[in-house]
Structure 1
Amino acid sequence: MMGEVQKRGLLYELKGGYRIDMTEEEYREKREELGRIAARLRVNLDVLDLLEKDYRMRLIVLSLASYFGFEKITGGELLKAACLEPKEGVNDIKAFFHKAGWMPYYLEYAFNDGVKTDFHDIAEFFFDDVELYMDMSEFLSYLRLPMAVRLI
């Protein structure tokens, strides 16, 4: 079981067992196949390509779609799907993206009910202001893939 956990890493597989730990060259070679998988997941890969420049992050977004679709995702669900343990004193969503090394601006985030500010009100500053990010990221409640990347 431990080997499987290590192998899966951060959302290791797309639906159907397609691995996401490939090189950029492999990604380019499999672009057509990934496009078909993205279409089955209802993700518009062309839009995702415009939003996300790093192929590894595109794969993680596709993996998020394979696990959760376009539903709300809590931090606990993210960590469980990625085979990660929660960190004491760190918001689960923040912990996931810290491990991923990236937190995409184009996902839809929401704060806990106790926070009187809507995420959309501070979104343009959230990723640029380190102090704001450190303070407010502790209150993230859920995220979801935006309809902008959904194949209509």
Structure 2
Amino acid sequence: MKLLGTNAAARIRAAALTAWSEPLSRGYVALLAVCAVWSMTGGVGLGEGGWLIRSIAVVLTMPWFLVVHLLLAVTQLDFWLLGYNFYFESPAWLFEPLWALYCLTAGLLNARLLARVSRSTREAGSAPWWVPMFALAFFAGLFALWHA
């Protein structure tokens, strides 16, 4: 009989190995980890809480951030159930562990996607610079739209 967490841990480990298999996805994970930890220490009050670092982390996880933001904005579940809006009325340090979990999950999913796309385009015979340049242009465009 398998434990419930054993299968999930194996799937997470396999996803992490896939995400770490390509140089592009390794660079993405490293950049996101630095930005997430830096912005988290700023949110807790241990360091500088600059807008640029958190914005870069948000943009690097943008597709998932939009899903989470729209879900919270549309449902307003906390306000409907409790009459209290946790996001606006709670201290920032309360959400930093959730921020770390979100960045870990979204970063793993995006890095895994980048690794698969990079590997498949390389196997298809495309130029090796195509995927990194497209990824850089995509995230730069998202950053420009985010701050326009």
The structure where helix makes up a greater share of residues is 2
The answer to whether the superposition gives a TM-score over 0.5 is no
TM-score, length-scaled by structure 2: 0.26
**Larger RCO (alpha carbons 8 Å, 6+ apart):** 2
